[in-house]
Amino acid sequence: MDLYPFFDWLDTSMLADISKAYGGVFAVVQMFHLLGMSMLGGMVLVGDLRLLNVLLKDVPSEQVIENTQKWFTVALIVVMTSGIFMSSAVAMKLYYNQMFWAKMTSLALGVTFVYAIRRPLLKFNHDTINPWTIKLLAVTSISIWFTVAASGRWIGFS
């Protein structure tokens, strides 16, 4: 599936006009993007490090996961909304950037992993789940979101 028409449309859309013409608006949206990313990263780390028994050992992991997942969703919405706006400013440049596609692929994998696997599985009592499966879930989650963040940063250097 070629997404060129979408990027071509985004490049000439009203969003692109605003993001290219008003540097201040872009900066404010970027600030929300960074805040969302830090919140998302924080929720991932707190939840996964709890699953790995590294921190918050005195709090039940079910409780930590329930609380972090809620804010993870809020952060994801903020990051994706602001990300679409920011990408409209350089839509065609991003279309030809390999690292951008690496980031989008890992983001799609991350969202699928969280909502189709991690969240439904962790709704069960954690004591009934194989501890190694829980640890594997945590390591995979950290790896995916690390890749999303690192490839996103790499876009600026490629």
Which stretches of the chain bind other proteins, using CB under 8 A? Answer: 102, 109, 113, 117-118, 120-121, 124, 128-130, 133, 136-137, 139-140, 143-144, 147, 154
**Residue 56 C-beta: closest distance to other proteins, Å:** 22
- Considering the complex, what minimum distance in angstroms separates the CB of residue 86 from other proteins? 23
Cβ nearer to other proteins, comparing 54 with 150? 150
> Please, which contacts does 42-48 make with residues 24 or more away whose CB atoms are closer than 8 Å?
43/68, 43/69, 43/71, 43/72, 43/75, 44/68, 44/72, 44/141, 44/142, 44/145, 45/142, 47/72, 47/138, 47/141, 48/137, 48/138, 48/139, 48/141, 48/142
Q: Nearer Cβ to other proteins, position 29 or 137?
A: 137
Rounded to a whole number of angstroms, the minimum distance from the CB of residue 139 to other proteins is 7
In whole angstroms, the minimum distance from the beta carbon of 142 to other proteins comes to 10
Question: Max CA-CA distance within the chain?
Answer: 55
In the complex with other proteins, the residue whose CB is nearer, 13 or 158, is 158
Q: How many residues does the chain have?
A: 158
